[in-house]
Chain A
Amino acid sequence: GAGVSQTPSNKVTEKGKYVELRCDPISGHTALYWYRQSLGQGPEFLIYFQGTGAADDSGLPNDRFFAVRPEGSVSTLKIQRTERGDSAVYLCASSLMGITDTQYFGPGTRLTVL
C-alpha cells in the first residue's frame, strides 16, 4: 500500500513569511508524528498526534510552530514568521496505534528560509 506522503517536497520562502507543510499518513494509522532534521543530524521530535488531538507537543521549539490534524488523518505543520534557523527537512511519520509502535517515515519537506 501507499506509504506516508508529504507535500511539498521542497519549499523556499523568505524570512518572516508563513508556511504550511502537509502530511498524509499511511491509511489506517492512528498516530502521526512530526520531526525536524538539520544537516548532519538525526531527526528531532516536534509533536505527536493520537487521532485528532496533540498527545505530546513538547518538541515544538516555540509558539511560531503549530500543527493540526482536524479529522484524524492528514496533518498540517504551520510555521509563522519564519526565520533562517527554521531551514531544515521536516519529516512526518505514522504508526498503527501508539507512539511505541514502529514509526514509518515520509520523504520529508525541505524548507529553505532565505
Chain B
Amino acid sequence: AQKVTQAQTEISVVEKEDVTLDCVYETRDTTYYLFWYKQPPSGELVFLIRRNSFDEQNEISGRYSWNFQKSTSSFNFTITASQVVDSAVYFCALIKGGGADGLTFGKGTHLIIQP
C-alpha cells in the first residue's frame, strides 16, 4: 500500500518569508500521480498541482514552486514571499496508476503566516 508522510505538523513564519513544505511518499508502483491541495479555514480542498511519476521537471506558478525528486521519493512545495492569505492546511496526496484505493493523503501541514 502507498503512504504519504508530511512530517511538519505546523509551520509558522512571518509574512514575506519563504517556506517549504515537505512531502515524502512510498509506493511500489512505477506509475503514480502526486498532488498538492490547500485547505483554507473554510474547509474546501483546493487543487494546486498534479504531477505524474514520469515527469520530474520542477514547476513554478507565481509564488509557488514544486520540487519532485524520485531518487528521494519527495515532492516538496515552496511558497516564496509568503502572504497571510497563504495560511491554510496543505495536503500532499498520491494515487497509483491503476487508481485503486483512491487518493492517499498525508496528515497535512498547518501553515501559519503571521503579519
Contacts and interface: CB of A to CB of B under 8 A. Distances in A.
Interface string B3-26: 010000000000000000000000
Contact of A102 (B47, B99, B100, B105): B47
A42 B100 contact: no
A89 interface: yes
Nearest to B50: A102
A70 interface: no
B91 to A, nearest CB: 5
Interface in A15-58: 33, 35, 40-46, 48, 56, 58
Contacts of A46: 102
B107 A100 contact: no
Interface stretch (B38-46, B59-67, B69-77, B79-87): B38-46
A59 B44 contact: no
Nearest to A89: B43
Contact of B102 (A33, A89, A105, A108): A33
A107 B42 contact: yes
Interface in B92-109: 93, 95, 97, 99-108
Nearest to A98: B99
Nearest to A40: B107
A91 interface: yes
Given A45-B102, A45-B104, A99-B102, 19 more contacts: A41-B107, A41-B108, A42-B4, A42-B105, A43-B103, A45-B101, A45-B103, A46-B102, A48-B99, A48-B102, A56-B101, A56-B102, A100-B33, A102-B35, A102-B50, A104-B47, A105-B45, A107-B43, A107-B44
Interface of B: 4, 33, 35, 37, 42-47, 50, 91, 93, 95, 97, 99-108
29 contacts: A33-B103, A35-B103, A40-B107, A40-B108, A42-B91, A42-B107, A42-B108, A43-B45, A43-B103, A46-B102, A56-B99, A59-B101, A89-B43, A91-B45, A99-B95, A99-B99, A99-B102, A100-B95, A100-B97, A102-B35, A102-B47, A102-B50, A103-B47, A104-B47, A105-B37, A105-B44, A105-B45, A107-B43, A108-B44
